[in-house]
Amino acid sequence: MYPNFLAHIKKLISLNAEEEELLLSGIKTLNVKKKDFLLKEGQVCKANYFVEQGLIRMYFINEKGIEQVTQFALENWWIADYMSLTTQGSSHFYIQAVENSTIIAIEHHKQEKLLEKIPQLERYFRLMMQRAYAAAQMRVKFFHVHTKEENYRHFISMFPQFVQRIPQYMLASYLGLTPEYLSELRKKQP
Amino acid sequence: MYPNFLAHIKKLISLNAEEEELLLSGIKTLNVKKKDFLLKEGQVCKANYFVEQGLIRMYFINEKGIEQVTQFALENWWIADYMSLTTQGSSHFYIQAVENSTIIAIEHHKQEKLLEKIPQLERYFRLMMQRAYAAAQMRVKFFHVHTKEENYRHFISMFPQFVQRIPQYMLASYLGLTPEYLSELRKKQP
DNA sequence: CGGAATCTTGAAAGTGTTCAAATCAAGTGG
DNA sequence: CCACTTGATTTGAACACTTTCAAGATTCCG
């Protein structure tokens, strides 16, 4: 049960049997179906979500009514609107399953309690946040370097297996271009 | 001494006198002049930097030889290449002072030791990383919503006082447009 | 099978860049 | 404190990249 979740934590910190039980008592497992939502715009982000299995995306809807994908989360990644989670203010994002997925959810107040009782968890989450922020830094660079065409080609060469798990229009949105233009690029050179 | 630094930490966690002394013994104060570097591409990012006073920018040089600013750090913000800092691999970024600045530096291995001896610091840095990541999430959204002109107008209306501290070409670079185009936008409507 | 979602096509219209040159501002040394 | 050199901003024209819109073709899922 939760093979990825516990293994992922234990790779970074050690937990005794009691702590492990405490941790497991504070989480919820969610089996979400493709297109189910973990968060919608206007709601408060209630939990920090770990992708045990599956694929999740985060997006928002811009003023023209078009979905803009801002990030994906694969197995072993955490996802949440951390601004909303931290301040408990209402979110500007949607978080939705791209595939049927198994999610471990830690609600905000439960996470606070767990952090008090298992101080090592602060370290684990610091490392996770640092990893996520480091990835965000690299991503900002990535999107600045090239033209959109170059970004696209670079992306599919870096993550070929991942690209096959998402529809093209989501990839287009994530890369900041229109589905039509992406289609044109593929015609030019698949 | 270090009025911002200690106050910032004590707002989030409590330290006794001994811990405070230990912390101060593990940091270095750097007085850097405008255009001095804290990090250059190819080097390993040796420390986590807190801006006690001043203004710092992070940028990289793209394949055309042009500087691309990816972030600024004002008073009370931490800045580092967290990918390089974490892996101790070589960095793809430059970190440079925009103004004469006072910086608190915690070297990587010193930070690890401090975290062992003062476990509450894990919490402090988790909160800092979470804040930084939350800001990065909002920023990705920001850059997706509008045209570049709208981004520019939105940015200067949000941070009017900050805009006056940086040259236009840095702002242009940060917003992902050319100095020439920014100049055109200003002519149209200052 | 049928309807909805996704992907493709092509033409017209922008948005933003490039390049070269002129102007303006600022820092340094004499 | 001025003269000089370098750095920063502005201009304008030509061009490139990307979007928009409308429609048709294709695929997916119940």
Length B152 CA → C18 C1' (Å): 21
pLDDT reported for residue A131: 97
Dist CA A26 CA A50 (whole Å): 13
Strand D: which nucleotides have any atom within 7 A of a protein Cβ?
8-13, 17-22
Please give the pLDDT value at position A18.
Answer: 96
For residue A99 the two structure tokens come to 């595939």
A133-158 pLDDT per residue, tens: 999 999 999 888 778 999 999 999 99
- Chain B interface includes A61 (CB < 8 A): no
Nearest to B82 by CA among B102, B108, B61, B59: B108
Per-residue model confidence (pLDDT) at position A2: 73
Nearest nucleotide by C1' position to the A146 CA atom? D17
Residues A145, B81: C-beta atoms closer than 8 Å: no
Any B CB within 8 A of A88 CB: no
How far off is chain A from B154, nearest CA to CA, in Å? 14
Rounded distance, CA A128 to CA A123, Å?
A: 9
Predicted confidence at residue A104, as pLDDT, reads 97
Give the CA-to-C1' distance from A170 to D22 in angstroms. 22
Q: H or E stretch including B113?
A: helix B108-117
Residue in A135, A140, A145 closest to B62 by CB:
A145
The CA-to-CA distance between both ends of chain A, in Å, stands at 41
| Predicted local confidence at residue B190, as pLDDT | 67
Question: Which of A35, A112, A54, A12 has the alpha carbon at shortest distance from B127?
Answer: A112
CA distances, A94 to each of A28, A45, A169, B64 (Å)? 20, 10, 17, 37
* Strand C contact with B122 (CB < 7 A): no
**Dihedral angle over CA of A36, A39, A43, A49, nearest 10:** 140
- pLDDT tens for B129-150 read 999 999 999 999 998 877 899 9
On chain B, the residues whose CB falls within 8 A of the CB of A145 are: 62-63, 68
Q: How far is CA A142 from CA A12, A121, B18, B177, in A?
A: 28, 31, 44, 15
Q: Which residues of chain A have pLDDT under 70?
A: 190
Q: Give me the average pLDDT of each 10-residue run along chain B (190 residues).
A: 90 95 95 94 97 96 89 96 97 95 96 96 98 96 87 93 94 95 88
Long-range contacts of A87-92 (CB under 8 A, 24+ apart): A88/A44, A89/A44, A90/A41, A90/A42, A90/A43, A90/A44, A91/A39, A91/A40, A91/A41, A91/A42, A91/A43, A91/A44, A91/A45, A92/A41, A92/A60, A92/B138, A92/B141
